[in-house]
Amino acid sequence: MQSTLELLFQRLRTHHPSSADHCLRVAGLSRAIARRLSLTTQDRSTLFRAALLHDIGKIFVPIEILDFPGPLDAGQRRIVSRHSELGQNLLLDEAPALAQAIAPIVRAHHEWFDGSGYPDGLAQDRIPWLARILCVVDYYDAVTSTRGYRAGLSDGEAMGLIRSECGKKLDPHAVSALQAMPRSCGCRFRLGLS
Protein backbone atom coordinates (compact mmCIF):
# COMPACT_ATOMS: atom_id res chain seq x y z
CA MET A 1 0.00 0.00 0.00
CA GLN A 2 2.89 2.37 0.79
CA SER A 3 4.36 2.04 -2.69
CA THR A 4 0.95 2.82 -4.21
CA LEU A 5 0.74 5.92 -2.02
CA GLU A 6 4.21 7.00 -3.13
CA LEU A 7 3.48 6.36 -6.82
CA LEU A 8 0.28 8.39 -6.69
CA PHE A 9 1.99 11.21 -4.84
CA GLN A 10 4.78 11.20 -7.45
CA ARG A 11 2.16 11.57 -10.20
CA LEU A 12 0.89 14.70 -8.48
CA ARG A 13 4.45 16.02 -8.02
CA THR A 14 5.18 15.45 -11.72
CA HIS A 15 1.97 17.20 -12.81
CA HIS A 16 2.07 20.13 -10.39
CA PRO A 17 4.98 20.39 -7.92
CA SER A 18 3.45 23.22 -5.87
CA SER A 19 0.29 21.15 -5.24
CA ALA A 20 2.49 18.30 -4.07
CA ASP A 21 4.39 20.65 -1.74
CA HIS A 22 1.06 21.90 -0.37
CA CYS A 23 -0.05 18.29 0.25
CA LEU A 24 3.18 17.56 2.14
CA ARG A 25 2.64 20.57 4.41
CA VAL A 26 -1.00 19.63 4.97
CA ALA A 27 -0.04 16.02 5.73
CA GLY A 28 2.55 17.12 8.30
CA LEU A 29 0.19 19.48 10.08
CA SER A 30 -2.61 16.91 9.94
CA ARG A 31 -0.33 14.40 11.64
CA ALA A 32 0.46 16.90 14.40
CA ILE A 33 -3.22 17.74 14.94
CA ALA A 34 -4.11 14.03 14.99
CA ARG A 35 -1.67 13.59 17.88
CA ARG A 36 -3.12 16.61 19.70
CA LEU A 37 -6.63 15.14 19.30
CA SER A 38 -5.40 11.74 20.53
CA LEU A 39 -6.76 9.99 17.46
CA THR A 40 -6.21 6.27 17.20
CA THR A 41 -3.12 5.04 15.38
CA GLN A 42 -5.33 3.88 12.51
CA ASP A 43 -7.09 7.27 12.24
CA ARG A 44 -3.74 9.07 12.35
CA SER A 45 -2.47 6.96 9.49
CA THR A 46 -5.68 7.39 7.52
CA LEU A 47 -5.66 11.17 7.98
CA PHE A 48 -2.00 11.43 6.99
CA ARG A 49 -2.52 9.37 3.83
CA ALA A 50 -5.68 11.28 2.89
CA ALA A 51 -3.89 14.60 3.46
CA LEU A 52 -0.95 13.50 1.33
CA LEU A 53 -3.29 12.64 -1.57
CA HIS A 54 -6.17 15.06 -0.97
CA ASP A 55 -5.36 16.99 -4.16
CA ILE A 56 -4.52 13.97 -6.34
CA GLY A 57 -7.51 14.84 -8.55
CA LYS A 58 -5.63 17.96 -9.65
CA ILE A 59 -3.66 15.78 -12.06
CA PHE A 60 -6.79 16.09 -14.24
CA VAL A 61 -6.84 19.90 -14.03
CA PRO A 62 -4.91 21.74 -16.76
CA ILE A 63 -1.70 23.43 -15.60
CA GLU A 64 -2.80 26.75 -17.09
CA ILE A 65 -5.73 26.75 -14.65
CA LEU A 66 -3.70 25.56 -11.65
CA ASP A 67 -1.11 28.28 -12.33
CA PHE A 68 -3.53 30.98 -13.43
CA PRO A 69 -2.05 34.33 -12.29
CA GLY A 70 -5.18 35.68 -10.64
CA PRO A 71 -8.54 34.75 -9.17
CA LEU A 72 -10.33 32.09 -11.23
CA ASP A 73 -13.50 32.82 -13.17
CA ALA A 74 -16.64 30.72 -12.67
CA GLY A 75 -15.75 28.22 -15.40
CA GLN A 76 -12.23 27.71 -14.10
CA ARG A 77 -13.54 27.29 -10.54
CA ARG A 78 -15.96 24.61 -11.78
CA ILE A 79 -13.08 22.69 -13.33
CA VAL A 80 -10.94 22.93 -10.18
CA SER A 81 -13.84 22.04 -7.91
CA ARG A 82 -14.13 18.64 -9.60
CA HIS A 83 -10.73 17.60 -8.23
CA SER A 84 -12.12 16.10 -5.04
CA GLU A 85 -14.50 13.80 -6.96
CA LEU A 86 -11.86 12.99 -9.56
CA GLY A 87 -9.39 12.18 -6.79
CA GLN A 88 -11.86 9.82 -5.14
CA ASN A 89 -12.54 8.10 -8.48
CA LEU A 90 -8.83 7.74 -9.23
CA LEU A 91 -8.23 6.15 -5.83
CA LEU A 92 -11.15 3.75 -6.27
CA ASP A 93 -9.94 2.74 -9.74
CA GLU A 94 -6.20 2.49 -9.16
CA ALA A 95 -5.73 1.89 -5.42
CA PRO A 96 -8.81 0.09 -4.06
CA ALA A 97 -7.09 -1.11 -0.87
CA LEU A 98 -5.95 2.41 -0.06
CA ALA A 99 -9.21 3.97 -1.24
CA GLN A 100 -11.43 2.15 1.20
CA ALA A 101 -10.20 4.34 4.05
CA ILE A 102 -9.12 7.56 2.38
CA ALA A 103 -11.37 8.08 -0.67
CA PRO A 104 -14.34 9.42 1.35
CA ILE A 105 -12.01 11.92 3.06
CA VAL A 106 -10.48 13.03 -0.24
CA ARG A 107 -13.97 13.52 -1.68
CA ALA A 108 -15.20 15.53 1.33
CA HIS A 109 -12.21 17.80 2.06
CA HIS A 110 -14.02 20.83 0.56
CA GLU A 111 -17.33 20.27 2.34
CA TRP A 112 -18.05 23.26 4.58
CA PHE A 113 -19.43 22.78 8.07
CA ASP A 114 -22.54 24.83 7.19
CA GLY A 115 -23.32 22.73 4.10
CA SER A 116 -22.19 25.29 1.51
CA GLY A 117 -19.16 23.32 0.29
CA TYR A 118 -18.71 20.78 -2.49
CA PRO A 119 -19.18 18.27 -4.05
CA ASP A 120 -22.19 17.02 -2.05
CA GLY A 121 -23.23 19.95 0.16
CA LEU A 122 -22.74 17.88 3.33
CA ALA A 123 -22.96 19.64 6.69
CA GLN A 124 -21.72 19.11 10.24
CA ASP A 125 -21.67 15.44 11.31
CA ARG A 126 -22.55 14.24 7.80
CA ILE A 127 -19.01 15.24 6.83
CA PRO A 128 -16.53 12.55 7.92
CA TRP A 129 -14.65 13.71 11.02
CA LEU A 130 -11.24 13.23 9.40
CA ALA A 131 -12.37 15.28 6.40
CA ARG A 132 -13.41 18.11 8.75
CA ILE A 133 -9.90 18.10 10.25
CA LEU A 134 -8.34 18.00 6.79
CA CYS A 135 -10.55 20.88 5.66
CA VAL A 136 -9.24 23.15 8.43
CA VAL A 137 -5.61 22.25 7.81
CA ASP A 138 -6.02 22.63 4.03
CA TYR A 139 -7.65 26.04 4.57
CA TYR A 140 -4.83 27.18 6.86
CA ASP A 141 -2.11 26.19 4.43
CA ALA A 142 -3.96 27.71 1.46
CA VAL A 143 -4.37 31.13 3.08
CA THR A 144 -0.81 31.26 4.47
CA SER A 145 0.79 30.26 1.16
CA THR A 146 1.87 32.90 -1.33
CA ARG A 147 0.27 32.60 -4.75
CA GLY A 148 1.29 34.33 -7.97
CA TYR A 149 -1.37 36.98 -7.43
CA ARG A 150 -1.33 37.44 -3.64
CA ALA A 151 0.91 37.18 -0.61
CA GLY A 152 0.20 34.57 2.01
CA LEU A 153 -1.31 35.70 5.28
CA SER A 154 0.71 35.71 8.48
CA ASP A 155 -0.16 33.10 11.08
CA GLY A 156 -2.04 35.69 13.13
CA GLU A 157 -4.03 36.92 10.14
CA ALA A 158 -4.80 33.35 9.09
CA MET A 159 -5.98 32.39 12.56
CA GLY A 160 -8.21 35.47 12.67
CA LEU A 161 -9.77 34.44 9.36
CA ILE A 162 -10.16 30.85 10.57
CA ARG A 163 -11.85 32.02 13.78
CA SER A 164 -14.28 34.06 11.68
CA GLU A 165 -15.17 30.92 9.68
CA CYS A 166 -15.50 28.68 12.76
CA GLY A 167 -18.95 27.08 12.75
CA LYS A 168 -19.56 28.35 9.20
CA LYS A 169 -17.05 26.81 6.82
CA LEU A 170 -14.94 25.14 9.49
CA ASP A 171 -15.67 22.60 12.23
CA PRO A 172 -15.27 24.20 15.69
CA HIS A 173 -13.49 21.17 17.23
CA ALA A 174 -10.96 21.03 14.40
CA VAL A 175 -10.42 24.79 14.65
CA SER A 176 -9.77 24.45 18.40
CA ALA A 177 -7.16 21.77 17.73
CA LEU A 178 -5.44 24.01 15.17
CA GLN A 179 -5.46 26.95 17.59
CA ALA A 180 -3.80 24.78 20.26
CA MET A 181 -0.87 23.82 18.02
CA PRO A 182 2.56 25.15 19.02
CA ARG A 183 3.97 27.83 16.72
CA SER A 184 7.54 28.14 15.57
CA CYS A 185 9.09 31.41 14.42
CA GLY A 186 5.78 33.11 15.22
CA CYS A 187 4.22 32.35 11.85
CA ARG A 188 4.27 28.72 10.68
CA PHE A 189 3.54 25.49 12.49
CA ARG A 190 6.24 22.92 13.14
CA LEU A 191 5.48 20.20 10.65
CA GLY A 192 7.44 17.05 11.54
CA LEU A 193 6.74 14.77 8.60
CA SER A 194 8.39 11.69 10.08
Catalytic residues: 58
Q: Which residues contact 148 (CB under 8 A, 6 or more apart)?
A: 67, 69, 70
Q: Which residues contact 175 (CB under 8 A, 6 or more apart)?
A: 136, 162, 163, 165, 166
- CB atoms closer than 10 angstroms to residue 79: 14
- CB atoms closer than 10 angstroms to residue 168: 11
Q: How far, in Å, are 15, 37, 71 from residue 77 at the CA level?
A: 19, 33, 9
Strands 188-189 and 183-184: antiparallel
Q: State the Cα–Cα distance between residues 32 and 190, nearest whole angstrom.
A: 8
- Least Cα distance to 164 among 118, 153, 147 occurs for 153
